[in-house]
Structure 1
Amino acid sequence: MKRHSVEGRLLFGTGINGIGGGLWFTIWALYLTRVIGLPAGRLGLSLAVAGVVGIALSLPGGAIADRFGARRVALTINLVRAVACLAFLAVDGLVALTLVAAVFNGAQVVGSGVGNALITGLFDDERRMRMLARSRAAVHAGNTVGAGIGAAVLAVDQRWAYAAAIVFNAVTFVVNAGLLAGVPETPTRRRLSRWAGLRGPAIRDRRYLLAMAPITALTACWAVQSTGIPLWVVSSTSAPPVVAAGTVIVSSVLIAGLQSAVSARVLTIRQGAVAATLAGVVLAVSCLVFLPAAGKGAGWAAVIVLGGGLLHVVGELLFVSGQWAVSVGLMREEFRGEYLGVSAAMTGVVQEFAPGVVVGLVGGLGGVGWVAMAGFFVACAVPILPLAARAASGVGDAAGVAGAGGAGAGDGGGVGAGAVS
């Protein structure tokens, strides 16, 4: 199959899933509370269980992708998520929600690592970076469209409208599965590694784990975007709440338009480490920029928040590019599913706990909380370069072209999580 045909299938499927993800992310909370009638205060435990399931399955999922092929596993994950998505129509209590969300969100986290393995198996060198950057851009573009559809569903606010939206999201997974069926399979191994990856080379690669830990911790920036900024705007500034939504829209548009350009300049392990280090510094500065908004009038507060939001986008663009370059550059090709499964699991851990930490800091401590977040991002940035250099020396190629991984399995959003990473 021609390369442009493969790229077209992957990008179209990712974009379609992005629309479904943006739609679901917009409506899920009101659907579960207003339509199903579940108590909002008790949703947290169900969603936490779902997140833990995904984290636990990421490494075995990657090992299975190495053994049977990432395309085959990614296709299966899309079909599983389609069924789980439809199952939300039958949820009638917290137990049912926990089970359905565990499958739906769990498959999302596993699919992130498997999607990385799919792309890195089909493309090599700088083509990985170009393809995965374009994939992320497609997801964000789709999210923006899906959020607009979700807004219309919320305006109607009827059970049938929510049900139609859920069916539409399920269809996006089926469409993506159909597109993946026409994509070549990735190279496979003759057998699973020890304990389906739980005792495989990736989880025992200490240099890889140490190098990725501070970079992955920067994933907390997504919680700042989805939780910290809206909370700060509403609770501590005189800016209108719509400003928080504006930062999300601006972020999606800029990521869709700029991720490819930024990633094209971050191809080696060292370049990735430098980009991630700069990301930590820029994210720290963005946190401090939000502080003066608390003492200004509505107009200036809005300008300050939007300015901080723009800096945050710059940090996120650098962080994602750096994470891709380092994680894929350090992995062993024959175990790419396991290595990228480890990366997905580490990212899942941060996504699981970061929102609560951000709420506690920004909501509980106000300005002091923003200073603490800035300190956290700087602390993440400091060890990245030496740890990445040490890990690169272990694979004998600190300057080799790394490429990147991405969400090739598609993303239709997770319950209680951002629709895209």
Structure 2
Amino acid sequence: MAPSGPQRALIAASFVNRVGNGLFNTAAVLYFTLVVHLPAARVGVGLTIAGLVGLLAGIPAGNLADRYGPRTVWLTALAMQAATMAAFVFIHGWVTFTLIAALDRLAATASGAAGGALIARAGGERPAAFRAKLRTFVNLGVVLGTLGAAFAVSVGTRTAYTALILANAASFACAGLIALVGVPNYQPLPRPKEHHRGAVLSDRPFVSFVALYGAMGLQYQTVSLLLPIWLSAHTGAPRWTVAAVNAVNSGVCVLLQSRIGSRVESPRQGGRAFRLAGLLFLVSCPLMALTADVPVWVAPVLAVLAVGVHSLGEVWESSGGYALGFGLAPDHAQGQYQGLFGAGFDAGQALAPVVLTTAVLGLGHAGWLLLGAFFAALGAAGPPVAAWAERTRRPSPSPTPVAPTAR
């Protein structure tokens, strides 16, 4: 079934946005250290502070989206992201960098909460298929942006990096314009009397799922951070191996996300997908560790095989996360729930570098085995958490259709 008009607009806006993200994220640290001349350690501290500050916006922004409509909040957040991104061109010191980065993360978190509520409202008759197609184009956008950034990085001038930053700022503005024209201004849904601004925090099954999802999110940086360090420090694999595994990871996600994700619709199916993802990670992590124990010419082949298995697990994990993250949230409080969902994921990503580079690398092969077992245990918890959550959901009558307001 072809996407509807609002769905196509959301896909297009998200794609443009993520192309910009791919452009900037690939070169951000290099810009701050080589062009602005900030020490790498201070950049890391600033980004950590910004990430922690950004977590504070999730639930409040979600509440605003539920109360005033998700499109309004999303467009506001995109405008703020465009402004903060452009401001990076003018930074000269650490304090200014940290302040702008914190404002950027606040806007990004708000954008995630409101955008999630907007995705829920535009879901249509087959929301899982729409979300899977959306994620496919999001992944493709990041890939294309990353390829574009490679040119600027190779040039290495301030002008080239400035062009990347302004292109990312423009991507937020373009995404907002696409949404303004193509996405209806959905009205807030009626809320029950017992609803309150912190209702999601008292939903213990959902909070438990968010904790699982945030912890399972370490798998993303297993490929992007941990494996490259391992390959360079413990194997004689050629340098192009890192590029190859990243290409395999992106390719598998782009090719399979829509096919697999469209089949994971209910929370119960999401729990099973989560379990399968954990088992695939249980296989991939030891394979990654074994790259240090094989001949040099075998290491790249084994790394590509391991990342192929891991990427398949990533597709199942993200599909299960979407099914549970959206399926367990009440229609009238999608913004609030997506705010906590995004904040939980971001918290996991903030902790991932420390956990992976100290605990896993510090233990060597044993660390990889423990990491695989950790993912498998998280996955095994998926089905019971999903069943618990479904038992606590109230069967709600179909809401009366609410027409969107004028665009």
Task: Report the TM range for the smaller structure's normalisation.
Answer: over 0.9
Which residue number in structure 2 is paired with residue 116 of structure 1?
116
Give the aligned residue type for 2:384. P
Structure 1 range deviating more: 270-279 or 243-252: 243-252
Structure ranking higher on relative contact order (CA contacts 8 Å, 6+ apart):
1
Q: Where does 1:330-409 land on structure 2 (aligned, <5 Å)? A: 330-395=328-393
CA distance change for structure 1 residues 94 and 277 in 2, over 3 Å: closer, same or farther? Answer: same
Superposition deviation, residue 136 in structure 1: 1.2
- Runs in 1 of length 4+ with deviation above 6 angstroms? 190-196
Q: Where does 1:15-164 land on structure 2 (aligned, <5 Å)? A: 15-126=15-126, 128-164=127-163
Which residue number in structure 1 is paired with residue 307 of structure 2?
309
CA contact (8 A) 2:123 2:131 kept: no
Helix, strand or coil for the counterpart of 2:236?
Answer: coil
Measure the CA separation in 2 of the matches of 1:42 and 1:194: 46
CA distance change for structure 1 residues 29 and 195 in 2, over 3 Å: closer, same or farther? Answer: farther
CA distance change for structure 1 residues 51 and 335 in 2, over 3 Å: closer, same or farther? Answer: same
Superposition deviation, residue 353 in structure 1: 0.2
Give the aligned residue type for 1:158. T
Q: Any idea what the Cα deviations from partners look like across 1:234-291, whole Å, max 9, x if unmatched? A: 1111112221222112211221221111011111111110000111111121101112
Which residue number in structure 2 is paired with residue 403 of structure 1?
none
CA contact (8 A) 1:276 1:322 kept: yes
Q: Is residue 2:206 matched to residue 1:208?
A: yes
CA contact (8 A) 2:81 2:107 kept: yes
Give the aligned residue type for 1:390. W
Superposition deviation, residue 388 in structure 1: 1.3
Q: Is residue 2:239 matched to residue 1:244?
A: no
Helix, strand or coil for the counterpart of 1:298?
Answer: coil
Give the aligned residue type for 1:122. A
Q: Any idea what the Cα deviations from partners look like across 1:46-69, whole Å, max 9, x if unmatched? A: 111111122111011111100111
The number of residues matched between the two structures is 393
TM-score (norm 2): 0.92
**Identity level (%):** 31
Give the aligned residue type for 2:327. G
Measure the CA separation in 2 of the matches of 1:155 and 1:242: 16
Measure the CA separation in 2 of the matches of 1:49 and 1:395: 36
Superposition deviation, residue 45 in structure 1: 1.3
Structure 1 range deviating more: 252-261 or 361-370: 361-370
Which residue number in structure 2 is paired with residue 412 of structure 1?
none
Superposition deviation, residue 114 in structure 1: 1.7
Q: Is residue 2:217 matched to residue 1:223?
A: no
Give the aligned residue type for 1:303. V
Measure the CA separation in 2 of the matches of 1:209 and 1:68: 24
TM-score (norm 1): 0.89
Measure the CA separation in 1 of the matches of 2:3 and 2:282: 40
Superposition deviation, residue 358 in structure 1: 0.7
Which residue number in structure 2 is paired with residue 174 of structure 1?
173
Superposition deviation, residue 195 in structure 1: 11
Helix, strand or coil for the counterpart of 1:38?
Answer: coil
Superposition deviation, residue 119 in structure 1: 0.8
CA contact (8 A) 1:216 1:323 kept: no
Q: Any idea what the Cα deviations from partners look like across 1:20-70, whole Å, max 9, x if unmatched? A: 111111111111111100001111211111111221110111111001111
Computed over aligned residues only, the root mean square deviation of the Cα atoms, in angstroms, reads: 2.0
Superposition deviation, residue 192 in structure 1: 12
Measure the CA separation in 1 of the matches of 2:63 and 2:160: 39
Which residue number in structure 2 is paired with residue 411 of structure 1?
none
Measure the CA separation in 1 of the matches of 2:22 and 2:204: 36
Superposition deviation, residue 15 in structure 1: 1.3
Q: Any idea what the Cα deviations from partners look like across 1:156-193, whole Å, max 9, x if unmatched? A: 11111111111111111110010111210223157999
CA contact (8 A) 1:24 1:169 kept: yes
